[in-house]
Structure 1
Amino acid sequence: MKPFGYVAAQDSEHAVALLAEYGKGAKLLAGGTDLLADLKLTPHPPPAVMVDISRCADLKGIAITEAGLRIGAMVTHSEIVNSPLIRDTLPALAEAALSIGAVQTRNLGSIAGNLVTCVPSMDSGPTLLALEASVTILGPSGRRTIGLADLFVGPRKTSLAFGEILVEIVIPKRNVGKPTGFQKFGLRKGQALALVNAAASFWAGEGLFTEPTIALGAVAPTVIRAPKAEAYLAGRPVTEDAMAEAGRIAATEAKPITDFRATADYRRDLVAVLVKRALLAAHGRATPNRKDIAS
């Protein structure tokens, strides 16, 4: 690895100021699990200076606020796994975090780093997207909030302008506690990139699918929603047949590629299976005894 400069930001405002000071020769360093590996392998020159945000206290913490469940940008995957608040209100988030890499990666890697790397197979994206999370962005012009889907532009490309940083992820209060399921399929049990991952969330009031959301990873240039499958479910009785059909519809909305790990057709088949499983997992959290699913 070639040498580079280093400076530690005191807080998010200081980080933005440092990015402005050093210009395009600067790059943010959070957990470093992706960035430092890239620097070892890339033939391009390293950034002139790394702006380390890992010690910024205002980018940490998990808490319920007036807006909803706030997760600071520098919260690690291990902190999400071990958070009693997340395990009690949205355990699917903890499951998604637990599926990321090895324990060493989870101890260092941050939730925001996973999102802004913008790899289609990211494991944090589908659950957050299914829960309609938003992100707060800080830059030279101040703060702005956008839906998580608007952060994703393409593989390894976000809508962040130069000099902006992601400071927090917020799950809206109306969705805190919403039953949600997460499913992932990889080529091995641990430390695997997802061939497909999926998350589904819905309320099951009066035995009907209410406000259903479905999100998919590794089957399009970015993590995506499956609006046709969601529309199919909305207002229908909660049945396994409906879940299976939603999975089949979601598979038609996916746009997977064929690569050395799997064919596009195989990934579509996985979408159908994993969406149904994610819906079943969500319903299991809505009703501990699933015998009430209509036949």
Structure 2
Amino acid sequence: MKPFGYVAAKSAEHAVALLAEYGKGAKVLAGGTDLLADLKNSPHPPPDVMVDISRAADMKGIALTDAGLRIGALTTHTEIVESPLVAQTLPALAEAAVVIGALQTRNLGTIGGNLITCVPSMDSGPALLALDAQVAILGPGGRRTIPLSGLFVGPRRTSLAPDELLVEIVIPKRNVGKPAAFQKFGLRKGQALALVNAAAAFWGGEGVFAEPAIALGAVAPTVIRAPKAEAYLSGRPISEEAMAEAGRIAATEAKPITDFRASAEYRLDLIAVLVKRALAGSLARVTPNQKDLAS
């Protein structure tokens, strides 16, 4: 491998300044669990310089704020799994984080890095998308906030400019504590890419599906929502039959591929099953007259 330079950023702003200074020849290093593997196997030359952001304290931590639940982009998957605040307000994300790679991967890998890979089978994406997560992006021109869905352009393609950085993820205050659940199916119980993954969320304290949301991974070029299935559920009395039908509708909204791991037809069947299970998991977290925990 060709040698490359290395520089450590002290903060998010410092990292952005370094990215602007080195331009397209720079690569961002956080946990490195995806990047280092790519460097070893890529036919392309390595970057001119690696900008290490792992010491940027302002990009770490999990906290409730006036805006909602803030998760720094450098928060590791293990920190998410072990966070009492996540367990209380966003258990679906912990369910997703605990099945990402092996323990060593979860100890190093970050939620921001998982999102930035833009791999359709990412596990953190559906849980966050189902709760209308926002992402804060910092660049030379300042800070901007966009819906998480706006970050995903295609497989391994984000909407970030070369000198921009994902700094934090925020679950809006209205969705903090919203009952949600995550489901994944892979070829192994551990260290497996998802054939399909799914997350669902809804308020159900009054016996009907209120503000339902369904998100799917590994079934399209990016993580997607299932708006037709959501519309079917909205305002409908909660029942097992309705959850099963929502799963069948969600399958019609996906565009899975056939590859060496599974056929498109098999993935469509999985969508129907996993959506139903995710909805049932959300229902198990519903309490009477439940309100968001941030109010």
- Summarize deviations over 1:168-210 as a string: whole Å, max 9, x none: 0000011110000100000010000000000000000320000
Letter in structure 1 aligned against 2:22 = Y
2:138 paired residue number: 138
2:25 paired residue number: 25
2:94 paired residue number: 94
For residues 18 and 220 of structure 2, the distance between their equivalents in structure 1, rounded to whole angstroms, comes to 35
1:235 paired residue number: 235
2:253 paired residue number: 253
For residues 24 and 68 of structure 1, the distance between their equivalents in structure 2, rounded to whole angstroms, comes to 34
What does 1:106-185 correspond to in 2, within 5 Å? 106-185=106-185
The 3-state SS of whatever aligns with 1:285 is: coil
What is the CA-CA distance between 1:43 and the residue it aligns to?
1.5
For residues 186 and 99 of structure 2, the distance between their equivalents in structure 1, rounded to whole angstroms, comes to 10
For residues 228 and 2 of structure 1, the distance between their equivalents in structure 2, rounded to whole angstroms, comes to 50
The 3-state SS of whatever aligns with 1:162 is: coil
2:188 paired residue number: 188
1:73 paired residue number: 73
1:278 paired residue number: 278
- Summarize deviations over 1:188-245 as a string: whole Å, max 9, x none: 1000000000000000032000000000000000000000000000000000000000
The 3-state SS of whatever aligns with 1:121 is: coil
For residues 111 and 16 of structure 1, the distance between their equivalents in structure 2, rounded to whole angstroms, comes to 19
- Summarize deviations over 1:80-110 as a string: whole Å, max 9, x none: 0000100111111111000100000000000
Letter in structure 2 aligned against 1:70 = R
What does 1:56-71 correspond to in 2, within 5 Å? 56-71=56-71
The 3-state SS of whatever aligns with 1:37 is: helix
Higher helix share: 1
Letter in structure 2 aligned against 1:92 = A
For residues 19 and 13 of structure 2, the distance between their equivalents in structure 1, rounded to whole angstroms, comes to 10
For residues 91 and 137 of structure 2, the distance between their equivalents in structure 1, rounded to whole angstroms, comes to 26
2:209 paired residue number: 209
Structure 2: gaps spanning 5 or more residues: 289-295
For residues 79 and 32 of structure 1, the distance between their equivalents in structure 2, rounded to whole angstroms, comes to 16
The 3-state SS of whatever aligns with 1:63 is: strand
Structure 1: gaps spanning 5 or more residues: 289-295
For residues 111 and 99 of structure 2, the distance between their equivalents in structure 1, rounded to whole angstroms, comes to 13
1:293 paired residue number: none
Q: How many residues align?
A: 288
2:293 paired residue number: none
The TM-score normalised by the length of structure 1 is 0.97
RMSD value, Cα: 0.8
The TM-score normalised by the length of structure 2 is 0.97
Identical residues among aligned pairs (%): 80
Contact 2:137 2:166 in 1 (8 A): yes
- Summarize deviations over 1:95-151 as a string: whole Å, max 9, x none: 100010000000000000000100000000000000000000000110000000010
For residues 135 and 276 of structure 2, the distance between their equivalents in structure 1, rounded to whole angstroms, comes to 28
Q: Does 1:14 align with 2:14?
A: yes
Q: Does 1:263 align with 2:263?
A: yes
For residues 268 and 287 of structure 2, the distance between their equivalents in structure 1, rounded to whole angstroms, comes to 29
The 3-state SS of whatever aligns with 2:197 is: strand
Letter in structure 1 aligned against 2:126 = P
For residues 99 and 267 of structure 2, the distance between their equivalents in structure 1, rounded to whole angstroms, comes to 19
2:37 paired residue number: 37
For residues 283 and 225 of structure 1, the distance between their equivalents in structure 2, rounded to whole angstroms, comes to 19
1:291 paired residue number: none
What is the CA-CA distance between 1:162 and the residue it aligns to?
1.4
Contact 2:205 2:286 in 1 (8 A): no
Kindly report structure 1 stretches of 4+ aligned residues shifted beyond 6 Å. none
Letter in structure 1 aligned against 2:40 = K
What is the CA-CA distance between 1:287 and the residue it aligns to?
4.1
For residues 276 and 59 of structure 1, the distance between their equivalents in structure 2, rounded to whole angstroms, comes to 35
